[in-house]
Amino acid sequence: MEMLCFLLFSLKMGINSFYNELMDKLQTDKLQKFQQSLLNWYGGNARILPWREDPAPYRVWISEIMLQQTRVDAVKPYFERFLQEVPTIRDLAALPEDRLMKLWEGLGYYSRARNLKKAACIVMEQYHGRLPSDRKSLQTLPGIGPYTSGAIASIAFGAGEPAVDGNVLRVLARLSGNRGDLKDKAVRADLNALAEKLLSRQKPGDFNQALMELGALLCVPNGRPKCGECPVQPFCEACRQDAVDQIPVKTRKAKRKTENRTVFIIRFQHRIALRKRKEHGLLSGLWEFPNRYGHLSPEDIGKVLMEWGICPETITPLPDAKHVFSHLEWHMKGYAVRVKEKRETCSFVWARQEEIHRSYSIPSAFHAYLKALEKV
């Protein structure tokens, strides 16, 4: 009797083992079809981008930092100009900060540029000028987090690491039908684990870029996704449920704070007044046109100019301007001020117009008034 039970148990275990092997094979086959469908589509539809033409580690790193919260079309000219002037990590480590800020002018999020330089100095000191290839070491460098380290490791070094950015999170949420809030850490952890399972170990760089490209071109965040053109539509749970408009779930962003500013274009002879912002906080360390919080009355404008040691000859209103940061809006009123005389105590830097365009990094928040220099 004991022997019969043992034989039946062994047979059952054999059947279960066969079933499990069969299910594993079916899952593997499905995964391979998913990977191949995505990679084939990417091979025929990937955009031609300068950093893809030569995915060397330094080029991939620079492109990934520039692309953080910035549109591809906006990055392309900056990338090419930056690489032309700063072609190596050694050059970046030695680059003066003022020149770095000028090269970055208009891209925004200037801490990215400062972190690039800090990281380049560390790479020169600790890694003999070569970017490390493993994800753990990459994440010790300033400005490189989980996504950027995965992108560099997989694209530049062929390492089997996922790279999950906002586009990829959206794609994975729709593929899996995940209705959790993308701001929830547990939801993001689940989607990162899914990315790890789906990753092609043979072509990790192409696979990661294919998922990003899918999110940028077809599985878009705004408007109806182009499901009819999607190479992995047969594998998509959100599509099966007709729920692509409901997934992913994202909580509404808090309303941006608004801040009023009065900006002055102050001209003395052939020079324009500039001042450097504080080394911490918003737009830290960049050059700006003198400005004050609030929309000032004519009386207050006179007091501020006197406080700065400025004796105005004429004060002319300029068009209003607005600049939107991620968390804040500046609503600006501008004035062109021609100066009759200025006190020696005036603490501004006075630069010629051509010097401003060549050497001073003016953040895009002031670009409306930078253009006004031609007319005042």
Q: pLDDT digit string (tens) for 291-349? A: 999 999 999 999 999 999 888 999 999 999 999 988 899 999 999 999 987 776 677 89
128, 268: one domain: no
| Coil, helix or strand at residue 264 | strand
In a domain, 26, yes or no: no
Q: Same structural domain for residues 275 and 356? A: yes
Residue 350 lies in domain: 257-372
Burial (CB < 10 A; 0-12, 13-18, 19+), residue 14, is exposed
Please indicate, yes or no, whether residues 207 and 271 belong to a single structural domain of this protein. no
Phi, psi of 264 (to 5 degrees): -120, 125
CATH of the domain at 210: 1.10.340.30
pLDDT at 16: 47
DSSP string, 113-143: HHHHHHHHHHHHHHSTT----SHHHHTTSTT
Phi, psi of 142 (to 5 degrees): -55, 135
In this prediction the pTM is 0.83
d(CA 363, CA 104): 9
Report the C-alpha dihedral over residues 288, 294, 297, 302, rounded to 10 degrees: -40
- What pLDDT shows up at residue 273? 93
| pLDDT of res. 3 | 42
pLDDT for the residue 78: 96
Tally of domains within the chain: 2
Pair (90, 197) in one structural domain: yes
* The pLDDT of residue 269: 87
Which positions of the chain have pLDDT values less than 50?
A: 1-16, 18-19, 22-23, 26
pLDDT of residue 344: 67
CA distance 151 to 61: 8
Q: What is the pLDDT of residue 150?
A: 97
Locate tokens 């998509």: which residue? 236
Same domain assignment for residues 207 and 328: no
pLDDT for residue 14: 45
Q: Quick one: angle between helices 97-104 and 72-85, nearest 10?
A: 150
Rounded to whole angstroms, the Cα distance separating 195 from 163 reads: 8
Residue 168 lies in a domain: no
Active-site residues, by number, are 64
Same domain, 295 and 194: no
Is residue 261 located within the same domain as residue 208?
no
Please report the pLDDT score of residue 327 as a whole number.
85
pLDDT at 147: 96
Query: Do 201 and 276 fall within a single domain?
Result: no
Per-residue model confidence (pLDDT) at position 18: 40
pLDDT confidence of residue 345: 61
Tokens representing 81 are 């100009």
Cis previous bond, 57, omega within 30: no
Q: C-alpha dihedral over 77, 82, 85, 86, to 10 degrees? A: -160
Q: Let me know whether 358 and 265 are in one domain.
A: yes
Please tell me whether residue 206 adopts helix, strand or coil conformation. Answer: helix
The pLDDT value recorded for residue 281 is: 82
